[in-house]
Chain A
Amino acid sequence: MTKSSFAILCFLLAFLYFSCDINPYKQGEGLYLHYCASCHMEEGQGLKGLFPPIAGSDYLEANIDQLSCIIKNGLVGEIVVNGRTYDQPMLAIKDINDIEIANLINFINYKWRNVETYISPEDVRTQLEECQ
């Protein structure tokens, strides 16, 4: 291998390395973009008084144990998030399975809650059995 070809190889490897995102929850991110981002927006900021934010949401913090239920069954009725009232219904995601819910929650935790917790599909199942 000549010097120049070695340099090109190094460049390509470096390019590949830096083009890879470090987000460990790829499926969760994909699910978020597919199911949630239409209303909660890509950066989790929500939309004015119509859709509540996920990023920095006190409602999420207070109801974190209900998150599996909210994702799976949706939410109807008024809720107060960061002092603001929202009442647009959130649709249930009927087709989502426990593993996907776990990946989605882990992505949300990683992206917006800055907590190092990990939720397993078993945890999701436990939560779903106790939905209010």
Chain B
Amino acid sequence: MHKRFLFLLGSLSAALFLLLLSCVKNPDADGQLPILGNRTVENGDTVYHRIKDFSFVNQDSNIITNASFEDKIYITDFFFTSCPTICPKVKQQMLRIHDKFKDNDKVVLLSHSIDVRHDTVAVLKKFATKLEVDTDRWHFVTGDEDHIYDMADEYFIVAQKDPDAPGGFDHSGRIILVDQNRYVRGFANGVDAEDVDRFMGDIQKLLDETAIQ
């Protein structure tokens, strides 16, 4: 009996030890954020994945392009206003990010609608108003359908029409962080508050890094 308990205790300790090991901080955690995506080497220089040109219309009918984010970092996601599944949760987390950095004009949010037929400028305006967001710093955009889906690929986000999915669209709830040079520097699971806590730390880290340069 005694031996059995010792064995049990041993197994428990081993399990705890493994659990602890998996929680150990990433050794790179204190360094700079990585640049994500494929990279190639051209003439001896490393070329990183860089977000390509885009042009959309926001809830105030203003044209939003890469130039709108010059010298700023931005946080982006893909959603649709009538989404019955994960979008509201992602929006709740985007709101947390918005509230945390609302006094920093270097931080902007960009939410793309993937339901361009339904989500007109007027619908997006109403949505933003109901969400009580500071509309200068959070753009809800629509535009050419293919262009939107193309940009989702750029941010490594899965988005597609799917008649069988609730609401008619299938998409991931990722939130992406892009730096002032159009490089993707981090992402979070937009339905996981704890992961977004970590992500907000990354945003601050990127801001600190940007300030030094």
Contacts and interface: CB of A to CB of B under 8 A. Distances in A.
Interface of A: 1-2, 4-5, 8-9, 37-39, 41, 47-51, 88-89, 91
Interface in B6-52: 8-9
A5 B88 contact: no
A50 B124 CA distance: 12
Contacts, number: 48
Given A5-B1, A5-B5, A91-B166, A51 B88 contact: yes
Given A38-B84, A47-B88, A48-B130, 15 more contacts: A2-B2, A5-B2, A9-B5, A38-B85, A38-B89, A39-B84, A39-B88, A47-B95, A48-B95, A48-B131, A49-B129, A49-B130, A49-B132, A50-B88, A50-B91
Secondary structure class of chain B's binding surface, majority of residues: helix
- Size range of the interface on B? 20 to 34
Nearest to A8: B5
Contacts of A1: 1
B92 interface: yes
Contacts of A2: 1-2
Contacts of B129: 49
Interface string B82-99: 101111110110010000
Interface string B124-166: 0001011110000000000000000000000000000000001
A2 B2 CA distance: 7
Given A38-B84, A38-B85, A49 B131 contact: yes
Contacts of B85: 38
A50 B86 contact: no
